[in-house]
Amino acid sequence: MEKKRSKGITILGICLLLCAVPALFAALIGMVSQSYAKGVTEVVIDIIMRILFISSPLTFISAGVGMLNLKNWARIMVMFIFPIPSFIAISISGSFLNVIMPPDIVSLMTLLGTAVMSLAIIFYLTRPKVKEQFK
């Protein structure tokens, strides 16, 4: 018996896979960019940020493929781990908005955008009909 996937799950899975593309470019830029960290704390933060940038596209790809295959681990991963790479992706896009908007507004948009998007996705994935698809 084959599982039936709703349009919302299909759209979410495809969006996750599409989000991997800019995250991959950001990871590549982060890998080849020069570090200007001088102190121990700055070096540690630089290493952590590089690891997050590299893991971000992998998270998007694994979550997208898992959602399209209706794997429950992907649903849980999107609900609990997804806000981290989402924040990174929105921050990257927000850095381009700094050119046309004041940085305070961009920072606020980044936080609000991540929160609203994450809450909407969590709300959708906890609906009984959606949860039933992953069993």
Q: Is the dihedral of CA 81, 85, 86, 91 positive or negative?
A: positive
Residue 20 lies in a domain: yes
Instruction: Please say whether the beta carbons of 80 and 121 come within 8 A.
Output: no
Residue 1 lies in a domain: no
Instruction: Write down the pLDDT at residue 98.
Output: 59
Range of the domain at 99: 7-133
Residue 25 lies in a domain: yes
Instruction: Write down the pLDDT at residue 93.
Output: 60
Please give the average pLDDT of every successive group of 10 residues along the chain, which has 135 residues. Answer: 79 87 76 70 76 79 90 89 67 60 66 78 89 86
Residue 2 lies in a domain: no
Residue 43 lies in a domain: yes
Instruction: Write down the pLDDT at residue 1.
Output: 47
Token reading at 129: 């009909």
Q: How many domains does the chain have?
A: 1
Q: What is the DSSP string of 14-82?
A: HHHHHHHHHHHHHHHHHHHSPP---SHHHHHHHHHHHHHHHHHHHHHHHHHHHHHTT-HHHHHHHHHTT
